[in-house]
């Protein structure tokens, strides 16, 4: 490029003009390549991803975007969270949630499956299909789960809890078994009374400070994934 520009200085006006026109597409191509370096991360999830009950800028996606940028990463995090969505709902909208620019997929689904006590076998099948599509497209994936409750019985809980490590191993993707793990880390324990200040009044969704704690825990895992 430098040699071409030096050569242009020695050419006649007409030749310089012709050469300039020839260089324009190359300059646009270089500019486009630089813009393409921004990593697009799609966060596919439910209300925890969507930012339920929080003001604009306080939800999981904008706080994660801010954390990653503050840590020197050139990323764009896309909010593909839908409140109330199950693993089946996430699978049904996966194709139009991803774009040719998507590089990384965060899969944070299963919370509504466990709240409704749905068949863990169906949850496993849906997540398996999501990961199959993602890995076939060459995407990096962070699979984020939630621990199953005990009120459906120990067998149900064991079957549900096994979904995330099993599928992560099967597809060779990164995994965090508990979306809410950052709350316990920030609060210094799992006692509900200790964690309550980080939760909204419904006791299900984190407040802004709770999301900050979650992002502080998940952010390094995503950073490591991007650096791998």
Say which of 74, 95, 202, 208 is annotated catalytic: 202
What is the side-by-side strand order in the sheet with 102-108?
A: 75-81, 39-45, 102-108, 140-144, 174-176
Residues 6+ away with beta carbon under 8 Å from 68: 41, 75, 77, 219, 222, 223
Q: Which of 113, 99, 172 is nearest to 145 (CA)?
A: 113
Whole-angstrom distance, CA of residue 124 vs CA of residue 40? 26
Q: Is 95 a catalytic residue?
A: no
125 is catalytic: no
Given the residues 47, 85, 113, 123, select the one marked as catalytic: 47
CA angle 36, 42, 43 (to 5 degrees): 155
Q: Give me the catalytic one of 113, 123, 171, 205.
A: 205
Report in angstroms the alpha-carbon separations of 122 from 53, 105, 114, 137.
29, 21, 11, 23
Q: How many CA atoms lie within 13 A of 220 on its CB side?
A: 4
97 is catalytic: no
Active site residues: 47, 202, 205
């Amino acid at each position: 490029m430098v040699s071409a520009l030096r050569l242009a200085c020695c050419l006649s006006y007409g030749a310089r003009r012709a050469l300039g026109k020839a260089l324009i597409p190359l300059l646009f191509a270089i500019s486009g390549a630089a813009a393409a370096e921004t990593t697009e991360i799609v966060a596919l999830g439910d209300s925890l991803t969507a930012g339920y009950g929080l003001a604009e800028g306080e939800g999981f996606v904008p706080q994660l975007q801010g954390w990653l940028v503050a840590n020197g990463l050139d990323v764009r995090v896309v909010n593909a969270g839908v409140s109330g969505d199950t693993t089946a709902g996430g699978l049904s909208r996966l194709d139009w949630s991803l774009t040719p620019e998507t590089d990384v997929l965060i899969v944070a689904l299963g919370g509504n499956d466990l709240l409704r006590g749905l068949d863990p076998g169906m949850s496993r099948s849906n997540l398996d299909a999501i990961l199959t599509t993602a890995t076939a497209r060459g995407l990096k994936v962070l699979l984020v789960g939630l621990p199953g409750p005990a009120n459906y019985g120990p067998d149900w809980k064991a079957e549900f809890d096994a979904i995330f490590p099993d599928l992560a191993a099967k597809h060779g993707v990164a995994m965090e078994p508990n979306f809410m793990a950052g709350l316990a880390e920030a609060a210094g324990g799992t006692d509900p009374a200790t964690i309550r200040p980080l939760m909204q009044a419904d006791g299900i969704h984190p407040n802004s400070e709770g999301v900050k704690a979650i992002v502080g825990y998940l952010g390094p895992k995503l950073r490591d994934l991007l650096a791998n």
